[in-house]
Structure formats: C-alpha cells, structure tokens
C-alpha cells in the first residue's frame, strides 16, 4: 500500500495548477491541452480512507481514467518515478498470439449503424451514448456487437447479442479471443487499474453500467469465465471488487477467484430483498439513481475476502454443535449392530469396508443404511453394483423374512401376506429418508448438490452417505484408476469436513500370495489402497469363514468383522456375524 502523502505529492507535482476541493484535486486537464481540444478539468480523488484513492478522470473524457501508473504513462514519465514501482516485477504476458488482422473496420461500420433505438435500449440502464461510443459498441442490423478489445488496443473477436434476449447471441472473429483468458470485455482497464481498484463482473451490460457510474470495470461473458482469469494478470491491482449476478453459483465462482487472488478481492453481496438471478442491469432498469446508491452501499459493506470463518461465527458454530450432541447415547449414528456401535461409538467420519468378492459387503451396508434411515436419518446410497430395484427388493425380503423367490411367485400363506404387507409399509416410510443414486457420471460437485437437496427435503442435519463401491466410482481415464481413486478419497475428506457427513465406503481387497484372501487382514489387504490408510477414519474388513465362491456354500455362513486401522477405536476383532440366508440379513453373534 502506497503511503497517502507520497501519492498526494505525486499528483500535486504533475498537476501544478491544481486546487483542492474537499478530498478532490482539480486542475486543467493536461491531456485535453495536448489534443488541442477545449480544456476540461481533471479530477483526482485523494482520500486516505478510500479504496479508490488516486483515481483520476477527465470530465471531458479526452482520455480513459485510471490510477497513478496509468497517469504516469499518459503524462510520459518513467515508471521508476511512479509511486509503488517495483523494478523486479515481471510484466504479465498472456499466452496468445496477436494476429495481424483485427476487427477495426468492422467496429467502425457497426458503430455507424447504431441508431436511436439502440441508444434508447441502453438508456434504460443509465448507459449514455458517450459511454457506448467510447467502448465502441456497435450494431450489425440485428445484434448489438460488443468488441473484445485486448491490451494490444485491438479487437480480434466480438460478441453479438440481441437486445433484451441474452440467450440469443453469437461470437464473431478469432476463436482464440472469445475463449479462455482472452475472453475479457474491456480488458484495457486492467492496465488502467494498476495500483488501484477494478470491478470484475459478468455480462457486458453490467460492465457498461459500472463504467457509466465512474468505476473501472471488466466483464466475462458468463460467470464460468471467472475460472479463466489469471491471478498473475490481476496481480498489480490493489483492490478487486467482484460483482456477480445474485445466485449461489455465481457467488461460488467469485469465491473461487477470490481464493486465487487473495485478500485484495472483495465480493459484493446483494441485499436480502433482491430476487435470485438479479443482476446490475435489472437494478438499473428500475432506477438509475438507486443503482448508484445500491452499488455504493455494497462497496461500503464489502470486506476483504478471507477463506477463514470469523471468530464469532466459529464460536457460534461450535456451540451449536455442542448443543446438538447433548444427550446422545453415541457420538455417531446407530447402525443397529450393538457391538459395532460400541466399538465405533457410532458411525462417524469415513469408514471403509473391504472384503472378498461375494462376502456380503453390499448386503451388510444395505442393512446398516436402512437401519439408519429407520431412525429418521437421511441416507444417500450411491450404488454402482446392484441396481435400485435389487436394493429395495432385498430390503423388503429382510424386513418381511420371506425369500425373494417366494415373493416373486406370489404363493404366500395368510401369515406371510400379512408380514409382506407390514414390510411394504415399513419400506414406504423408510423411503422418506433413503435415496438410491445410480449416476454413472457422478462428480464430487454433484455429490455436494445431492447433500444440499436431501437436507432441504428432509430438514435433517445428520446424513449418511454409502458408496458401493470405491473402485467403481466414475474416473475420467481408466488407465489412471489408482490416481482416480486417490483423487476421490481426497474429495470425500473435503466433503466430510465441509458438510459434516459420514461415509460408508466399500472397497475391494487384493489377493494374497496364494491367490486367495485368507491371510490375516491389514491395511495392505485393500486393493490399490493408496490413500486409504490416510483417509479412512475406520478401515474394516469383513472376512467370511466360508468360501463365497464355492458352488455349494456352507449353510451356516459366518463372517468376522475386523478393525484394521482407526483414528480412535482399537484394532482387532469387532464382532462375528451370521448371514441369515436367503433373507439377506446379518445377525450379530
């Protein structure tokens, strides 16, 4: 931050005829004199508490306004004489080749086609004809054409939009300049803002409105373009005001950019009475005076971005957590298995279960997840193994204690019919909190949205997420399966911490030296275990004492559940379970 006195002295030195009017330095404009135009006034805001301190503009508009580095370039002095100059700073160069052909002639032609009808359209938002001409906005007979002028001073692409119908648009020119980091409207003002403040918004009209209000502003066509903005490109700007449309998606994109550019970012928050989806153009269309006041209030209320919660918020959140935990018999969720609950103190964090093929891992998790749902705790079951109907059918079989084959045959006696009817009623009630998802294109962001949806629908905070199985989660490239699994585990950790949910995750086991799975279970037993040992709060293995792959498995099917690693529980045998077949039900022995 440049000391105020140094900045003040800089402008007073180069504007010797200036006089003070409040916090503004006013002088004859030296740039009007050079252009042999009628001399206007140049006004410099020099308020030590203002985030826009050092901003200058010519009231005649003979040159674009900006901050002291831009002023120094216009006045023709060496950078070393400008306050805040860093001789070691590397200039930013965009990774793009500027072609010889540009849209200058087309821009002139389109500007000439602007009629009163188009000017009246922009007047609804308070945007003047002078601003449109300065920004070289044109018309091609049907579309308003916004030229995307680069730091080179030329435009190589233009965005055509039908007035009032933003969805009807097209791009014209060199594709390299309407995609990626080059797709910035009014990019010249990045340089004008060096050492000062810049607005970043979405949509060209919003940038025009901000410019009309006297602010320096750039825009990306859509808020997704925030991801393409380079922190290095914005590094020489002291304050970045992020003004997006009023939506959670736009605010999320602004936060992601703020994380990259740091504390210099300030995200402007919309007042609570504004509707979702509103933008600056919607506000300006109602009242131009209100627009200036509303933006000013948002600037005043905006704070330097921080990824950390405030101490008050952290204290409040922790106390709410303690209040929710009072009186709970277990620290986590009840599974319905007494010994397992006692060993884990209830389900918490990420519990990963391994076992040989056909050992009953899915069956075990189906039973736990439906027992959790019975206690009015929502469950999202991500299934890549069995299919939604099979999960429902096996749950019904377990509840009714009637074999699947008999249910399908329909040959039930009166007692069985009554049991089936009762089980169907239980399943109906359970489905209020139980969601099965078979999305083969699942992403971590989609999972986050699912969490928001089910909490909204059930009005419950506690949540169990089941993944069956880890090795069948969608990966972009099957050749990178190991890194894909590790990436998913990192995401599950983040979701666990962000959303305070617990996970049950099924994993495959690796074969032992003899090709079997009978060796003593430990962490190395997990297939492509990678980050499992670092991610899992509990690593469990369900090991049957019968051969699941045998043609005629033993009638008595017992399995031992082992805890092989845990952040809080002791390793060793948890419990012994007997599979009550064909009812798909485990009994804890």
* pLDDT score at 114: 95
User: In sequence order, what are the residues at sequence separation of 6 or more whose Cβ sits closer than 8 angstroms to the Cβ of residue 455?
Assistant: 378, 461, 463
Residues listed for the chain: 589
Domain co-membership, 55 together with 118 = no
When pLDDT is cut at 50, 70 and 90, the band that residue 554 belongs to is low
- 310 occurs within a structural domain: no
* pLDDT score at 93: 84
Q: What are phi and psi of 34, to 5 degrees?
A: -65, -35
pLDDT in tens, 37-79: 678 899 999 999 999 999 999 999 899 999 999 999 999 999 8
> CA 365 to CA 340: how far, in whole Å?
13
Determine which helix (DSSP H) or strand (DSSP E) holds 559, and give its type and residue range: strand 557-566
Q: What average pLDDT does the segment 97-125 reach?
A: 94
Domain boundary among 16, 47, 81: 81
Q: What average pLDDT does the segment 497-516 reach?
A: 83
Q: What average pLDDT does the segment 17-31 reach?
A: 95
Average pLDDT of the chain, as a whole number: 90
User: In sequence order, what are the residues at sequence separation of 6 or more whose Cβ sits closer than 8 angstroms to the Cβ of residue 375?
Assistant: 333, 334
Domain co-membership, 280 together with 372 = no
When pLDDT is cut at 50, 70 and 90, the band that residue 185 belongs to is very high
Which among 187, 191, 118 is positioned nearest to 157, based on CA atoms? 187
**Could you tell me the two tokens for 491?**
């995401």
Domain co-membership, 422 together with 568 = yes
When pLDDT is cut at 50, 70 and 90, the band that residue 95 belongs to is confident
Domain co-membership, 291 together with 358 = no
When pLDDT is cut at 50, 70 and 90, the band that residue 477 belongs to is low
Domain co-membership, 459 together with 513 = yes
Q: Which residue has tokens 């060796």?
A: 519
- Tell me: pLDDT of 522 over 80: no
Domain co-membership, 440 together with 504 = yes
- 359 occurs within a structural domain: yes
**Could you tell me the two tokens for 387?**
């299919």
Contact, 408 vs 459, CB < 8 A? no
* pLDDT score at 530: 63
Residue 10 C-beta-side C-alpha neighbours within 13 Å: 29
Question: Domain containing 573: what range?
Answer: 338-588
- Identify whether 582 is preceded by a cis peptide bond (ω within 30 of 0): yes
**Could you tell me the two tokens for 394?**
């096996």
Domain co-membership, 452 together with 573 = yes
Task: Give first-to-last CA distance, the chain, whole Å.
Answer: 70
- Tell me: pLDDT of 80 over 80: yes
When pLDDT is cut at 50, 70 and 90, the band that residue 169 belongs to is very high
> CA 18 to CA 33: how far, in whole Å?
15
- Tell me: pLDDT of 478 over 60: no
**Could you tell me the two tokens for 105?**
């002639």
**Could you tell me the two tokens for 159?**
């965005």
DSSP annotation of 509 = B
* pLDDT score at 517: 62
Bridge-partner residues for 420, per DSSP? none
Contact, 178 vs 185, CB < 8 A? no
Exposed e or buried b for every residue in 277-299, given b needs 16+ CB within 10 A?
A: eebbbebbeeebeebbebbeebb
The helix/strand/coil state of 485 is: helix
Contact, 207 vs 80, CB < 8 A? no
> CA 377 to CA 501: how far, in whole Å?
11
When pLDDT is cut at 50, 70 and 90, the band that residue 164 belongs to is confident
pLDDT in tens, 261-295: 999 999 999 988 888 888 898 888 876 568 888 89
If one counts the domains in the chain, the total is 3
Q: Tell me the residue ranges of DSSP E strands in 393-501.
A: 434-437, 464-468
> Backbone dihedral region of 61: left (phi > 0), alpha (psi from -120 to 50 degrees) or beta?
left
pLDDT in tens, 198-215: 999 999 999 999 999 999
- 66 occurs within a structural domain: yes
Handedness of CA 201, 206, 207, 209 (dihedral sign): negative
pLDDT in tens, 328-359: 788 899 999 999 999 999 999 999 999 888 88
Q: What is the pTM of this model?
A: 0.64
CATH of the domain at 450: 3.40.50.300
* pLDDT score at 512: 66
CA angle 462, 463, 464 (to 5 degrees): 140
- Tell me: pLDDT of 217 over 90: yes
pLDDT in tens, 413-428: 999 999 999 999 999 9
The percent of residues above 70 in pLDDT, for the chain, comes to 95
Longest Cα–Cα distance of the chain, Å, equals 105
Contact, 203 vs 279, CB < 8 A? yes
When pLDDT is cut at 50, 70 and 90, the band that residue 529 belongs to is low
Quote the crossing angle between the two packed helices 361-374 and 414-430, to the nearest 10°.
70
* pLDDT score at 287: 66
> CA 578 to CA 589: how far, in whole Å?
7
Domain co-membership, 71 together with 114 = no
Contact, 556 vs 547, CB < 8 A? no
* pLDDT score at 526: 83
* pLDDT score at 94: 86
- Tell me: pLDDT of 513 over 70: no
Domain co-membership, 184 together with 217 = yes
The helix/strand/coil state of 53 is: coil
Domain co-membership, 459 together with 534 = yes
pLDDT in tens, 369-404: 999 999 999 999 999 989 999 999 999 999 999 999
> CA 348 to CA 157: how far, in whole Å?
53
> CA 120 to CA 110: how far, in whole Å?
17
- Tell me: pLDDT of 82 over 60: yes
pLDDT in tens, 140-155: 999 999 999 998 899 9
Lowest mean pLDDT among 212-226, 257-271, 552-566: 552-566
- 523 occurs within a structural domain: yes
Domain boundary among 301, 325, 351: 301
- Identify whether 210 is preceded by a cis peptide bond (ω within 30 of 0): no
Order of strands across the sheet with 155-162? 138-139, 144-149, 155-162, 165-173
* pLDDT score at 523: 79
Using CB atoms within 10 A of its CB, is residue 478 exposed (0-12), middle (13-18) or buried (19+)? exposed
- 308 occurs within a structural domain: no
- 329 occurs within a structural domain: no
> CA 486 to CA 490: how far, in whole Å?
6
Domain co-membership, 283 together with 345 = no
Domain co-membership, 222 together with 356 = no
């Amino acid at each position: 931050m440049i000391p105020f006195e140094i900045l003040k002295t800089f402008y007073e030195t180069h504007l010797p005829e200036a006089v003070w009017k409040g916090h503004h330095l006013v002088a004859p404009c030296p740039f009007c004199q050079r252009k042999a135009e009628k001399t206007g006034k140049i006004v410099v805001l020099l308020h030590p508490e203002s985030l826009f301190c050092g901003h200058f503009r010519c009231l005649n508009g003979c040159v674009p306004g900006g901050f002291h580095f831009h002023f120094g370039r216009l006045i023709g002095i060496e950078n070393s004489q400008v306050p805040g100059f860093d001789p070691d700073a590397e200039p930013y160069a965009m990774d793009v080749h500027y072609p010889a052909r540009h849209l200058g002639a087309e821009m002139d032609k389109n500007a000439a086609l602007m009629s009163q009808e188009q000017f009246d359209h922009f007047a609804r938002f308070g945007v003047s004809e002078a601003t449109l001409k300065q920004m070289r906005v044109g018309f091609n007979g049907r579309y308003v054409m916004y030229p995307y002028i680069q730091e080179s001073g030329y435009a190589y692409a233009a965005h055509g939009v039908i007035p009032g119908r933003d969805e009807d648009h097209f791009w014209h020119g060199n594709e390299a300049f309407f995609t990626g980091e080059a797709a910035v409207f009014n990019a010249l003002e990045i340089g004008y803002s060096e050492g000062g403040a810049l607005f970043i918004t979405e949509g060209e009209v919003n940038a025009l409105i901000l410019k009309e209000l006297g602010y320096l502003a750039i825009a990306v066509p859509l808020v997704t373009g925030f991801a393409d903005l380079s922190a290095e490109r914005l590094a020489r700007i002291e304050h970045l005001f992020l003004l997006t449309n009023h939506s959670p998606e736009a605010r999320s994109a602004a936060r992601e950019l703020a994380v990259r550019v740091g504390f210099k970012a300030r995200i402007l928050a919309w007042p609570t009475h504004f509707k979702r989806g509103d933008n600056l153009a919607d506000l300006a269309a109602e009242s131009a005076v209100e627009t200036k006041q509303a933006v000013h209030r948002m600037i005043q209320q905006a704070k330097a971005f921080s990824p950390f919660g405030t101490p008050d918020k952290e204290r409040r959140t922790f106390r709410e957590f303690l209040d929710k935990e009072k009186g709970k018999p277990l620290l986590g969720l009840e599974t319905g298995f007494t010994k397992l609950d006692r060993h884990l103190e209830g389900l918490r964090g990420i519990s990963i279960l391994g076992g040989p093929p056909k050992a009953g891992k899915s069956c075990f998790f189906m039973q736990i997840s439906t027992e959790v749902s019975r206690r009015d705790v929502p469950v999202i079951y991500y299934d890549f193994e069995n299919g939604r109907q099979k999960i429902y059918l096996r749950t019904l079989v377990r509840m009714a204690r009637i074999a699947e084959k008999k249910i399908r045959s329909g040959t039930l006696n009166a007692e069985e019919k009554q049991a089936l009817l009762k089980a169907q009623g239980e399943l109906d009630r359970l489905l209020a909190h139980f969601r099965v998802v078979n999305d083969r294109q699942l992403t971590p962001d989609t999972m986050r949205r699912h969490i928001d949806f089910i909490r909204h629908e059930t009005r419950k905070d506690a949540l169990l997420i089941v993944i069956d199985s880890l090795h069948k989660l969608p990966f972009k490239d099957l050749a990178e399966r190991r890194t894909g699994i590790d990436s998913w585990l990192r995401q599950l950790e983040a979701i666990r911490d962000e959303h305070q949910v617990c996970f049950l995750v099924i994993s495959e086991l690796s074969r032992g030296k003899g090709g079997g799975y009978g060796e003593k279970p430990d962490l190395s037993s997990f297939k492509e275990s990678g980050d499992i040992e670092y991610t899992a709060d509990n690593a469990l293995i369900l090991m049957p004492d019968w051969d699941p792959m045998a043609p005629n498995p033993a009638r008595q099917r017992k399995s031992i559940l082992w805890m092989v690693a845990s952040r809080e529980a002791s390793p060793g045998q948890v419990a012994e379970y007997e599979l009550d077949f064909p009812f798909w039900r485990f009994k804890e022995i």
